[in-house]
Structure 1
Amino acid sequence: MSTRPNRHPGPCAVCGTTVPAQAGPLSRTQGRWTVHCTDHPPAASDENRRDDQPPAQPPVEVRYTGTETECAALVQALKLTPHMQVMRVSDLTPRREKPGRHSVYAHVRIDPRLLAAIAREEAQE
């Protein structure tokens, strides 16, 4: 992974906050350029990664359809879950075909250690 200062403003790859030009590191990871805010520096490259630390995974997209209250509760639960970081959440979208129902989308980064632990559990079953 190579790193240099960002020349243009752009969204932080982790939290989505706009990073002004020259205010954050720009890194190339897996063939893609991303900028990071000061609160979320780029992850260490695979060469610097500890053996017990699995490689970082791209965020997963979560889509949920339910009542307005259920959608808000799901987003709050995702934010409060340890080892999960909610990066972006869409606005609540009313479902035309189902009155009273809404959809919400979220991008969630799951800690690779949690994914590895779940994979170990599934392998034991």
Structure 2
Amino acid sequence: MKDAFIYDEINKKTEKMTNEELKKYKRPLPMAFTMLPIDFIYEHIEDEHGVYETGMFTYKGKDILINKEMGEWHLSVSANHTLGYYELKEIRYKFMPDNMQVAQIFPPRNEFVNLHENCFHLYQIKFDK
């Protein structure tokens, strides 16, 4: 029976995000972001899997910031606990368009910065074909 649960969890589909639902999660950008040397890029995308937008969101007790950096999507999610694989997967598919590859990056040790113990970053990546 345990194997059936794992199988169902792996294949569970994320519910399609609607414009109304996205508005419910949307929050104003904190004032602190205006002091950062980062330009905030607004983008709104709709596809057959849902609606996606850059901005600040609160979802299931997690703070999510989505922006475009150097033309690619970047999602930052923080919570009061370490996120598990399925939570991170749900957030990726709920808040980032389907037509992209996304990765969590671990840089060389001397470049690693961790300002929040339970903050995770997902970056859109491109592969040369």
- TM-score by length of structure 1 reads 0.26
Between structures 1 and 2, the one with greater helix share? 2
Higher Rg: 1
